[in-house]
Amino acid sequence: MAVARSMRRTSPISLLLAALLAFGFICFLLTPSSSSSSASASASSSRQRQQDAAEHPLSPPTKPFLKSQSYRSDGYQAAPPVVHYNLNNLTSTSDSIVNGERILILTPLARFYQEYWDNLEKLSYPHELISLGFIAPKTKAGNTAIAALEKAISKTQNGPIDNRFASISILRQDFEPPLTTQDEKVRHKLSSQKDRRESMSRARNSLVFTTLGPSTSWVLWLDADIVETPTTLIQDLTSYDQPVIVPNCFQRYYDKNSRKWDIRPYDFNSWIDSEQAQVLAKDMGPDEILLEGYQELPTYRTLMAYLADLKNLDPRRLLELDGVGGTALMVKADVHRDGAMFPAFPFFHLVETEGFAKMARRLGYGVFGLPDYLIYHYNE
Amino acid sequence: MNRPHAFSKGHSAYPRGSAFSISPNSFQPRSQPALRRRRQLFQRLCLLAGVSFLLTILIFPSWRAAVIPTLSLGLIHSSGDLQLQTVRYYDLSEVQGSEKGWERGERVLMLTPLRDASSHLPMFFSHLRNLTYPHNLIDLAFLVSDSRDDTLRMLSSMLQEIQNDADPKMSFGEISVIQKDFGQKVQQDVESRHGFEAQASRRKLMAQARNWLLSATLRPTHSWVYWRDADVETAPFTIIEDLMRHDKDVIVPNVWRPLPDWLGGEQPYDLNSWQESETALALADTLDEDAVIVEGYAEYATWRPHLAYLRDPYGDPDMEMELDGIGGVSILAKARVFRAGVHFPAFSFEKHAETEGFGKMAKRMKFSVVGLPHYTIWHLYEPSVDDLRHMDEMEKERQAQEQIEREHELADKQKQSSNSESQNDAEKGSSEGPAAQPPKDAAKGNSKQDKS
């Protein structure tokens, strides 16, 4: 009863003041959330995100834009601003985080694997420096993949700020893929490879040349079926400061004989050229292509997949290559800006990522591989 | 004054109404005694709930993001970036490019590489303002590279002006000004720009610049890409629509330039638009893998049919001609050509580079490449060093002539009014003297044919 009586005596004004005080106290307690260090990091990251945002929706896809738009005094929507980009100041160096270099991760999406997204989210490179780009065909499979992707995106982009990516572009491609099946056996048949890879080239080119924008320093090509990489993938690959660099793509499988999980090489498109292959190419018609991993075409190239020293992994071991695979491929944005693309036609009898390596080399860039730096492909 | 009166009135009214209507039930028992009794319990429960809520929020920081904004009615923003749109969705099949793009709201990316071009900018902007294609559908992008004059400052202020124009239909869409220096060592004056030795490396650098500009500014929203040089002097205002109507993947107009009368009045300018010839293909086979064939030099006799030489001033402007190599003064291409990966090779692609290599690569990817022989735009005439020297001589000659005439005039006032009016016509301080020009000069034609 004593409490009630004292309450009755206090005036409503002092109650209001007390409520205000309590509210302020709670604010004080909560706003510098959790531990102070991560809080300040999060605040600075969101400030940086805010600063980097474009004013107008007509802006590079690598930038988020402000939802609210300004208007002219006469009521018309304000014209887009004149924006300057000084590309002389754009660097791509081994100290990518310190220099705040922006990464564009590009993925041609055929299927969506949750493991792929989880792996992407775990990358420890500051997410406010990462933009994502996806391209999917306008097929039923593409629709399913995009639906799943959008679900994962909305979860991440509405989650904790530090986990959110700077921006995400989703593209639907404007041409039909040559094959309707993603079945492993059909997909890898030699005759269908040329069409498949040419179509893949066009998808990759459409993706990179529309999303690159003026502020990207590095482009990481990451296939949708790469489900396991070190979380420091970006820092590691940029640390070599090479124009084009590719890790070794392996696959985990269950070995029925030894009854345990093991790993095996998966991507055979990263290679060092051989004389035999050169001779083969010389006798080919202008529209024929050389492919790796087919008995019909004995190229005797040195494949990086087999150069991994599994007993004694040395992730810093660097190797100069002539052809690269696209499962995970780190490229300085300058290489793409100079025009290196994925040929959708036989370019020196090479297409797609292998043709890309050839074109990069013709533009004067070195192409490198990391035989002992392993990433893992999904096992169907 | 009125108050007491009013008061008395109100007072007198009081007893009549409420004095006898006081409810006799005012001492009824309290309506909800149970609630009163449990009030303390309620208070304690609320307090407990509040404290436990605060505790859980302190213990599980991850809940805060979800809970705080709803409770605080937006007073505490965890951060402002809730106002950012981060996800964009594009369907490329909606930006294929059609013959009536302006009716379908198709966006055009207009690209202009600039270097030491401040003198051309006023002319270029007057062309921009006059374009009839809906301005809000045109995105402008400029590359300012290795400039030593104030191209950049002028460009920004002129762009700013056009975007803030009182007429809301004048302003353009996205505007990007890209700065990038490529360490261009080659001089920009006409003489050195067109010397044979410098061509291959110059063309590769130009290609690089074009690719940087394109890759930084091409968006998934573009249906068309229009390359336009800043030094075009005369072009139809409807040029984008005119080229678009042909619905080709890559299309170029014919590019000529006006000349002073003593050089013949006009001349084909862009010799990079051509059809492939057997001779040239044979020549290409003999060359080194990294060699670049450039048109218009005696060193490479290609015998190719050039778009420029096929012009008939009275021909049908809609007539088309299949091309293999193209020039870069004014190119309209569907954005899907660039999306497919076609670009300006900064290396020797089938023995060609830059715009000629672009034409070759587009052909290689089975896109249509077409030129309009009778649809002409006019490139600015920049006198070469030889021309300038020659003009100087002519100017002196003319002045001498005038001097003589003036003496005649003084001597004979009635005879002639004046023929010195022609002086005003002379555009670049040159030529067009009276008919007294020596005929050998007109035939001399020592200005080299230019390649863009």
pLDDT (tens digit, 9 = 90+) per residue, B366-399?
Answer: 999 999 999 999 999 888 788 888 888 888 888 8
Helix (H, G, I), strand (E, B) or coil at A256: coil
pLDDT in the model for residue B6 = 46
> Among partner residues B85, B95, B340, which is closest to A344 by beta-carbon distance?
B340
Chain A neighbours among B 149-168 (CB < 8 Å)? 156, 159-160, 163-164, 168
CB-CB neighbors (< 8 A) of A209 in chain B: 214-215, 218, 338-339, 341
pLDDT in the model for residue A123 = 95
The top-level CATH class assigned to B106-387 is: alpha beta
CB-CB neighbors (< 8 A) of A66 in chain B: 83-85
Contact between chains at B212 and A341 (C-beta distance less than 8 A): no
Among the residue ranges A108-122, A230-244, B46-60, the one predicted with the least confidence is B46-60
Q: Please name the residue of chain B whose CA is at the shortest distance from the CA of residue A359.
A: B347
For the segment B148-170, what is each residue's pLDDT rounded down to a tens digit?
A: 888 999 999 999 999 998 888 99
Contact between chains at B84 and A209 (C-beta distance less than 8 A): no
Q: Is residue A274 part of a domain?
A: yes
ipTM: 0.86
Query: What domain range is A301 assigned to?
Result: 87-377
pLDDT in the model for residue A48 = 81
Chain A neighbours among B 16-75 (CB < 8 Å)? 39-40, 43, 54, 57-58, 61-62, 64-65, 68, 72
Average pLDDT over residues B228-256: 95
Q: Is residue A283 part of a domain?
A: yes
**Chain A interface mutation, best of B58, B339, B350, highest count of A Cβ atoms under 10 Å:** B339
The residue behind tokens 């002992």 is A372
**Distance between CA A148 and CA B367 in Å, rounded?**
35
CB-CB neighbors (< 8 A) of B139 in chain A: 58
pLDDT in the model for residue A113 = 95
Average pLDDT over residues B218-241: 95
Whether the Cβ atoms of residue A327 and residue A223 lie closer than 8 Å to each other: yes
How many residues are present in chain A? Answer: 380
Q: How many CB atoms lie within 10 A of CB A140?
A: 9
**Distance of CA A5 to CAs A10, A17, A374, B45, Å?**
9, 19, 73, 18
Q: Which two tokens stand for residue B399?
A: 């002045």
Q: How confident is the model at residue B204 (pLDDT cuts 50, 70, 90)?
A: confident
For the segment A260-300, what is each residue's pLDDT rounded down to a tens digit?
A: 899 999 999 999 998 888 888 888 888 888 887 777 778 88
For the segment B409-434, what is each residue's pLDDT rounded down to a tens digit?
A: 888 876 655 554 444 444 434 433 33
For the segment A160-204, what is each residue's pLDDT rounded down to a tens digit?
A: 888 999 999 999 998 887 765 556 666 566 767 888 888 999 999
pLDDT in the model for residue B439 = 37
Distant-in-sequence contacts of A353-356, Cβ < 8 A, 24+ apart: A353/A221, A353/A269, A353/A323, A353/A324, A353/A325, A353/A326, A353/A329, A354/A269, A354/A292, A354/A323, A354/A324, A354/A325, A355/A201, A356/A324, A356/A326
Q: How confident is the model at residue A38 (pLDDT cuts 50, 70, 90)?
A: low
The DSSP annotation for B315-373 comes to: S-TT--EE-SB--SSEEEEEHHHHHTT----SS-BTTB-HHHHHHHHHHHTT--EEEEE
Q: What CATH number is attached to the domain comprising A225? A: 3.90.550.10
Judged against a pLDDT cut of 90, whether residue A340 lies above it is answered with yes
The CA angle B157-B158-B164, to the nearest 5 degrees, is 90
Q: How confident is the model at residue A27 (pLDDT cuts 50, 70, 90)?
A: low
Judged against a pLDDT cut of 60, whether residue B197 lies above it is answered with yes
Whether the Cβ atoms of residue B357 and residue A341 lie closer than 8 Å to each other: no
B83 in A contact zone (CB under 8 Å): yes
pLDDT in the model for residue B36 = 67
Hey, CA dihedral for B91, B94, B97, B102, is it positive or negative?
negative
> Among partner residues A47, A65, A85, which is closest to B216 by beta-carbon distance?
A85
Calculate the average pLDDT of chain B. 80
Q: Is residue A288 part of a domain?
A: yes
* Shortest Cα–Cα distance, B107 to chain A (Å): 11
For residue B239, the surrounding DSSP H or E stretch is helix B239-244
Q: Is residue A58 part of a domain?
A: no
Contact between chains at B174 and A1 (C-beta distance less than 8 A): no
Q: For chain A, give the percent of residues with pLDDT over 90.
A: 58
pLDDT in the model for residue B435 = 37
CB-CB neighbors (< 8 A) of A87 in chain B: 178-180, 212, 216
Contact between chains at A57 and B365 (C-beta distance less than 8 A): no
Whether the Cβ atoms of residue B310 and residue B173 lie closer than 8 Å to each other: no
Among the residue ranges A94-108, A138-152, A222-236, B71-85, the one predicted with the least confidence is B71-85
pLDDT in the model for residue B29 = 58
CB-CB neighbors (< 8 A) of B83 in chain A: 66-68
Contact between chains at A64 and B85 (C-beta distance less than 8 A): yes
Q: Is residue A7 part of a domain?
A: no
For the segment A114-153, what is each residue's pLDDT rounded down to a tens digit?
A: 999 999 999 999 999 999 999 999 999 999 999 999 999 9
CB-CB neighbors (< 8 A) of A27 in chain B: 72, 76
pLDDT in the model for residue A365 = 95
pLDDT in the model for residue B154 = 94
**Higher pLDDT residue, B1 or A143?**
A143
Q: Is residue A370 part of a domain?
A: yes
**Higher pLDDT residue, A15 or B363?**
B363
**Distance between CA B234 and CA B411 in Å, rounded?**
44
Q: How confident is the model at residue B84 (pLDDT cuts 50, 70, 90)?
A: confident
Q: What is the CA radius of gyration of chain A?
A: 26
CB-CB neighbors (< 8 A) of B110 in chain A: none
Residue B253 CB contacts under 8 Å (≥ 6 apart), including other chains: B235, B239, B243, B330, B371, B372, B375, B376, B377
Q: Which two tokens stand for residue B95?
A: 């930006």
Average pLDDT over residues B255-278: 88
Judged against a pLDDT cut of 80, whether residue A31 lies above it is answered with no
Q: Is residue A127 part of a domain?
A: yes
Contact between chains at B54 and A42 (C-beta distance less than 8 A): no
For the segment B272-297, what is each residue's pLDDT rounded down to a tens digit?
A: 899 988 888 888 888 888 888 877 67
Contact between chains at A82 and B160 (C-beta distance less than 8 A): yes
Q: Which two tokens stand for residue B354?
A: 């830059």
CB-CB neighbors (< 8 A) of B341 in chain A: 201-202, 205, 209, 341-344
Q: Is residue A34 part of a domain?
A: no
Q: Which of B268, B196, B310 shows the shortest CA–CA distance to B450? A: B268
Q: Could you give the number of structural domains in chain A?
A: 1
Judged against a pLDDT cut of 90, whether residue A321 lies above it is answered with yes
Q: How confident is the model at residue A253 (pLDDT cuts 50, 70, 90)?
A: very high
- What are the percentages of helix, strand and coil residues in chain A, rounded to 5? 35, 20, 40
Q: Evaluate if pTM is beyond 0.90.
A: no
